[in-house]
């Protein structure tokens, strides 16, 4: 029978034991955490092949079945991707099918697959600012820590539908510039991954209806007070590190916010 003790620190990816505490954690979840820790420290980058189940089992001193279960859990969260006959790879936002993984706006009445067309991105501004109490809390920053504030439009079928304000810590994205943003072409997540090695793995959102303020009305081409969907999102990297706080104002005339809750 497999040893149910935590993996030996000599075998884990960073030379550290998983941690103390009396709470029981299934062995596969401990292995999942150790693999994630290797991703946090950059042992395997986005798009790279990770070791085989056999190699990981030997490394952590557990069975291949336990490693397989851990990888299944990581794959379900789109942290890794299995490719038949090739192995398991670190998931990446640069893959064409996942550049806009978190984009949920869909044209009304369209087939869900055909409706996943890519929007045009128009960057409006990039400013340096100081984290206020809200952004500091959202991104686990110090009050007044330096941040970037990016504003942009997402245009669907020649219609501006989303006005975004995106906040990032300057320390994580040095030398960011409008030139780099404009040249990135694809999604901002694929840009942050490619240029800075930061990959978003999950996001939390809250949604409510609001009226368009003057700035949003100007960029979306609608009257002030027009009903909009306000999407407040915090996106996280490996290890549940909050990286991006985004406030999106969405015009839903002819479009809907779609989410699969299965």
- The structure's pTM equals 0.73
Domains of the chain, earliest start first: 27-90 (1.10.10.10), 105-257 (3.40.1410.10)
pLDDT in tens, 141-182: 999 999 999 999 999 888 999 999 999 999 999 999 999 999
Containing 232, the helix (H) or strand (E) segment is: strand 227-237
pLDDT in tens, 154-165: 998 889 999 999
pLDDT in tens, 75-91: 887 788 898 888 999 88
CB burial string 208-234: b at 16+ within 10 A, e below: eeeebeeebbebbebeeebebbebebb
Higher pLDDT, 249 or 15: 249
Measured in whole angstroms, the distance separating CA 164 from the mean position of its chain's CA atoms is 16
Predicted pLDDT at 171: 96
CB burial string 88-121: b at 16+ within 10 A, e below: bbbbbbbeeebbbbbbbbbbeeeeeeebeeebeb
């Amino acid at each position: 029978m497999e040893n149910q003790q935590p993996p030996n620190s000599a075998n884990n990816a960073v030379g550290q034991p998983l941690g103390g505490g009396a709470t029981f954690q299934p062995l596969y979840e401990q292995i999942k955490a150790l693999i994630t820790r290797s991703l946090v420290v950059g042992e395997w980058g986005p798009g790279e092949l990770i070791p085989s189940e056999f190699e990981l089992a030997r490394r952590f001193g557990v069975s291949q079945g336990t490693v397989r279960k851990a990888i299944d859990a990581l794959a379900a969260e789109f942290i890794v991707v299995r490719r038949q006959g090739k192995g398991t790879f670190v998931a990446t936002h640069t893959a064409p099918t996942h550049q806009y993984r978190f984009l949920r706006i869909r044209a009304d009445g369209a087939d869900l697959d055909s409706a996943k067309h890519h929007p045009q991105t128009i960057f409006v501004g990039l400013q340096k600012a100081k984290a206020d109490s809200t952004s500091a809390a959202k991104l686990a920053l110090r009050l007044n820590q330096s941040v970037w504030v990016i504003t942009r439009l997402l245009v669907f079928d020649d219609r501006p539908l989303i006005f975004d304000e995106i906040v990032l810590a300057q320390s994580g994205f040095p030398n960011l510039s409008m030139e780099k943003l404009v040249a990135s072409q694809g999604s901002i997540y694929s840009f942050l991954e490619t240029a800075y090695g930061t990959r978003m793995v999950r996001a939390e959102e809250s949604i409510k209806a609001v009226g368009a303020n003057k700035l949003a009305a100007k960029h979306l081409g609608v009257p002030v007070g027009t009903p909009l969907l306000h999407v407040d999102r915090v996106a996280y990297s490996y290890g549940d590190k909050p990286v991006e706080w985004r406030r999106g104002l969405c015009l839903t005339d002819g479009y809907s916010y779609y989410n699969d809750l299965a």
